[in-house]
Structure 1
Amino acid sequence: MNSIKIIKNEQERARAVERLIYLMDIDHPTEDVSAQIELLALVIQDYEQKVSPLAPVDPIDAILFRIEQMGMKRQELIPYIGSQSKVSEVLARTRPLTLAMMRRLHKGLGIPAEVLLGSDNPEIDLSNNPTLDYSQFPLVEMNARGYFGERLIASARELKDRAEELVSGFLRGGAGDKNTLAFLRAPQSQSGTRNMNDYALAAWMERVKQKAIHEKIDVPYQPGVVTDLLLREVVKLSSFDTGPKLAKEHLARYGIVLVVEEHFQKTYLDGVAMLLNDRAIIGMTLRHDRLDNFWFVLLHELAHIQKHLNPDNPLITDDLDDKVQQSQAIEQEADQIAQESLITSFAWLQSKVRTSYLQQDAHQLARELGISISIVAGRVRRETGNWRLLHNCLGKGVVKLMFERME
């Protein structure tokens, strides 16, 4: 058999075609000649597809071709597309096909999935129904926050119709969409008095991960970097007006990313600690936008990273207002570490403010320890359960604004 090589240019293609025509004119080709014909045809086809690939088939043209082929009328597409008006709009190309429509068209009319999906979503399986109910995601809130792109979708109906592709696109834009989907598919063991909306929590976590993966860290996170010394260093930063910003920068030096993202309704969330690739992540909602809350939640999550977070337990969510959840051993330990890091038991027992609840005594202890007065005020309020005490010392409404200016 003559040597047949991959075609690299038009001259080689012309010679290959000439050779193919010659061989095909042989009246009684031998097995060797037949094999050459087959191989030449393959290398010519391969070259032509590379040089002039076939244009993708338009899905609407494919639908029209299929119904003509099957002798169907346009109104017979209603079971696949949804209504007469939707059929008209889709065929006029003024309404995009949704994944639900594509799935029905693929299953019912046998239109190839790759034609309906195009090149944007090649990994989506139209043969099976989705394993998640995408309409359960907080679509309106996600849309308002720009999770689906810059163009806001005005119609709640359109959001619901396109839920699968919108949410799938959002998840594909992140670093951990498979983990997020696994989180939703697994049975959750929430132990608090208020059950979180798992879909809203998953969307929030994915957004936190998307933000965190783009944050610069000085070194990859290593287990054991959160020491008692690091906790004290972070607390000392509270004495500065820009303490939260300084804390974020300081933690990045240890591979720990601090991300703020507003919570969704029915998530009852203060913070999370999680692992992702080369970094540990602390996500905070700032649903209580006060400095005392910021510092306590931050130290609570750092305690989780120090003591509880590991590859076998890569995610811990916290609702610090939930007394049932906070009764768990790891939550009690995190609370104790956070409280002791912020103000040691010895310093607290020696302080005047512990019994006086006076603002001047709170200032005195804050100056002595080199920390924010908000931390002292928060300790008084937690110890007494009297949430009216020292309310002017909490740093209300400053933390969210500070992080918004950093974005």
Structure 2
Amino acid sequence: MTNTVLRTYETLADFAPDWVAVPGESIADLLEERGWTQADLATRTSFTTKHVNLLLKGNAPITEETALKLERVLGSTARFWLNLEAQYREHLARQEALKALAEHTDWLKELPLSDMVKFGWVKKVKGKAQQMFECLRYFGVADVAAWRTQYEQPVAAYRASAKLTREPAAVSAWLRRGERAAEDMRLGDYDRAAFEAALQQIRVLTSERDPKVFTPKLIELCARVGIAVVLEPAPKGCPVSGATKWLSASKALIMLSLRGKTDDKLWFSFFHEAGHLLKHGKRMTFLDTLGEDGLNPQEEKEADAFARDLLILPTDYKALLAHSLIGEQMIRDFARQINVAPGIVLGRLQYEGHIGWQQFNRLKVRYSWGHETEEK
């Protein structure tokens, strides 16, 4: 079943009234119309009067055999009677499930629920238990215990980052959004060599200032080689700048939060995550925050080095540093020569202390979630 078809079924199933008629009420209505007693129905169906009474009260289920008898005796179709029964039993089960969920509604306080609603990730519904149901469905888990195993515990492994462990629910909500977005993408199978070649094409995209132009190209280039690229705002409490996750043996996810805002940070985050995919296998998820080393400092340094040297070749950078005075125009000319954004060159120089943090920042492009660009 495709995700599109599944979403359609989910939409059709969204109507869940607080009440549903007992199937026996429909039987009783027909008996009244025809002037029949319960004893009359018992005689016509070969049921006992006790069983008929249980059917009318909803205490006895309408089985396939019963549905066929009702079809012959009262009319309509067996499918009609079975559907009434299924709807009724689902309603009872749903009410019991909501009662059970109501005992764990404190979980909602852990989630960045207001942002999840604002970003359109989950629906805002009445009642805490029903909201629990919506959030569990968003995460694709049956209960809070399953959520803690699938999402909270992996994030809690990042003990090196106080930021990540402070509000793991916010981080997991953001990461889950990436997983769900990837489900709707048409991805090829992962191809390492093709991905490395695609990175050279993506590197050229850094010179494009408009996200409306470079974002679809970035997504398409990566989708062809089995990698879903998802750009989503981070909810409150989620300090992550980027993430890498293997969705399967042949599909991967690179997720960016645009938390850094400027082009140098966005593109460095992307190539940093690409470095994780190429260098660190399929063992785990990588969650990266600005200014922290993550779970494995050595692997983070390797990903940093990969991004740094792919964006600006070491030989080119060495030639730039050979100049005694590096000015704004020199940075522009150098960036044009090596075919990357000037902001990326400036960010590198600032990070390594060759230029002050307040100098030449007009070279950087600042992104907004409205897909507009502005000078910093």
Aligned counterparts of 2:311 and 2:366: Cα–Cα separation in 1: 19
TM-score, normalised to structure 2, is 0.68
Q: Helix, strand or coil: the match of 2:253? A: strand
Residues 17-40 of structure 1 deviation map (CA, whole Å, 9 limit, x = unaligned): 99996xx9xxxxxxxxxxxxxxxx
2:84 maps to which residue? Answer: 55
1:192 is the counterpart of 2:161 = yes
1:316 is the counterpart of 2:293 = no
Check conservation: 1:232, 1:342, Cα contact below 8 A: no
Deviation at 1:54, TM superposition (A): 6.6
Deviation at 1:247, TM superposition (A): 2.3
2:29 maps to which residue? Answer: none
1:325 is the counterpart of 2:325 = no
Q: Helix, strand or coil: the match of 1:387? A: coil
1:237 maps to which residue? Answer: 205
1:306 is the counterpart of 2:283 = no
Rg bigger for which structure?
1
Q: How does 1:361-380 map to 2 (within 5 A)?
A: 361-380=330-349
1:92 maps to which residue? Answer: none
1:205 maps to which residue? Answer: 175
Aligned counterparts of 2:215 and 2:324: Cα–Cα separation in 1: 29
Aligned counterparts of 2:329 and 2:195: Cα–Cα separation in 1: 33
Aligned counterparts of 1:319 and 1:355: Cα–Cα separation in 2: 34
Check conservation: 1:380, 1:389, Cα contact below 8 A: no
Query: Percent of pairs identical after alignment?
Result: 18
1:292 is the counterpart of 2:313 = no
1:102 maps to which residue? Answer: none
Residues 267-286 of structure 1 deviation map (CA, whole Å, 9 limit, x = unaligned): 21100011224521111110
Q: CA RMSD in A?
A: 3.9
In the alignment of these two chains, the number of paired residues is: 301
2:121 maps to which residue? Answer: 147
Residues 205-248 of structure 1 deviation map (CA, whole Å, 9 limit, x = unaligned): 1112112221233x122456533x44333212223343444222
1:274 maps to which residue? Answer: 245
2:325 maps to which residue? Answer: 356
Aligned counterparts of 1:377 and 1:167: Cα–Cα separation in 2: 42
1:283 is the counterpart of 2:255 = yes
Check conservation: 1:357, 1:389, Cα contact below 8 A: no
Aligned counterparts of 1:137 and 1:54: Cα–Cα separation in 2: 37
Q: How does 1:340-351 map to 2 (within 5 A)?
A: 340-351=309-320
Q: How does 1:67-146 map to 2 (within 5 A)?
A: 115-117=92-94, 126=100, 133-146=107-120
Deviation at 1:187, TM superposition (A): 7.3
Deviation at 1:326, TM superposition (A): 8.4
Q: Helix, strand or coil: the match of 1:396? A: strand
Check conservation: 1:256, 1:280, Cα contact below 8 A: yes
Check conservation: 1:259, 1:284, Cα contact below 8 A: yes
Aligned counterparts of 1:353 and 1:289: Cα–Cα separation in 2: 30
Aligned counterparts of 2:237 and 2:91: Cα–Cα separation in 1: 38
Check conservation: 1:251, 1:258, Cα contact below 8 A: yes
Residues 257-311 of structure 1 deviation map (CA, whole Å, 9 limit, x = unaligned): 111111122221100011224521111110121111111011000001111140x
Aligned counterparts of 2:199 and 2:151: Cα–Cα separation in 1: 30
Check conservation: 1:221, 1:280, Cα contact below 8 A: yes
1:254 is the counterpart of 2:257 = no
Deviation at 1:143, TM superposition (A): 1.9
Aligned counterparts of 2:347 and 2:323: Cα–Cα separation in 1: 11
Q: 1:251 to 1:114 in 2, by over 3 A?
A: same
TM-score, normalised to structure 1, is 0.63
Check conservation: 1:326, 1:332, Cα contact below 8 A: no
Please say which of residues 231-240 and 206-215 is displaced more in the overlay.
231-240
Stretches of structure 2 that go unaligned for 5 or more consecutive residues are: 1-41, 49-61, 71-77
Deviation at 1:371, TM superposition (A): 1.4
1:45 is the counterpart of 2:66 = yes
2:8 maps to which residue? Answer: none
Deviation at 1:318, TM superposition (A): 0.3
2:303 maps to which residue? Answer: 334
Aligned counterparts of 2:246 and 2:148: Cα–Cα separation in 1: 13
Q: Helix, strand or coil: the match of 1:325? A: coil
Q: How does 1:16-27 map to 2 (within 5 A)?
A: none
Stretches of structure 1 that go unaligned for 5 or more consecutive residues are: 1-16, 25-40, 60-111
Residues 32-82 of structure 1 deviation map (CA, whole Å, 9 limit, x = unaligned): xxxxxxxxx9874263554522735999xxxxxxxxxxxxxxxxxxxxxxx
Check conservation: 1:273, 1:305, Cα contact below 8 A: yes
Check conservation: 1:260, 1:403, Cα contact below 8 A: no
Q: Which amino acid aligns with 1:144?
A: K
